[in-house]
């Protein structure tokens, strides 16, 4: 899913669906990252970098979740939220994991 597609689909969700989307995305992101903690890879710096990225992505998802929960009108616009997530995931080499998590979330968030 490209950033414009994600932004369009995310922006079309009502507030309660955005709450579901963010919670589901955070949940599935943890699932997609479990392999990193169990990896026997000798490349510790890469694992640490990805762990930092996982923390950053979880931070952005949970912060946005709280903004929606509290009805905060001073939150980032939808396009900025999706851009931050995609940019951070690319930097931390977590694009595949984020893409899978967001796809799971967008499919499930639309269900009441």
Domains in the chain, number? 1
| Better-scored residue on pLDDT, 3 or 96 | 96
Would you mind telling me the total number of residues written for the chain in this entry?
112
7 pLDDT above the threshold of 70: yes
Determine contact, residues 111/28, Cβ cutoff 8 Å. no
Q: Which residue range is the domain that position 25 belongs to?
A: 3-109
* H or E stretch covering 22: helix 15-32
Taking residues 60-82, report their average pLDDT: 92
pLDDT score of 12: 92
User: What pLDDT digit, counting tens, does each position of 10-68 carry?
Assistant: 999 988 899 999 999 999 998 888 766 555 666 778 888 888 999 999 999 999 999 99
In 1-112, the DSSP E strands lie at none
């Amino acid at each position: 899913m490209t950033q414009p597609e994600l932004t369009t689909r995310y922006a079309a969700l009502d507030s309660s669906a955005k709450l579901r989307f963010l919670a589901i995305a955070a949940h599935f992101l943890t699932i997609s990252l479990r392999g990193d903690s169990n990896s026997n890879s000798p490349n510790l710096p890469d694992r640490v970098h990805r762990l930092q990225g996982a923390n950053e992505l979880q931070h952005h998802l949970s912060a946005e979740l709280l903004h929606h929960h509290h009805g905060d009108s001073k939150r980032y616009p939808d396009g900025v939220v999706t851009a931050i997530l995609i940019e951070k995931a690319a930097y931390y080499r977590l694009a595949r994991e984020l893409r899978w998590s967001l796809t799971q979330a967008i499919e499930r968030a639309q269900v009441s």
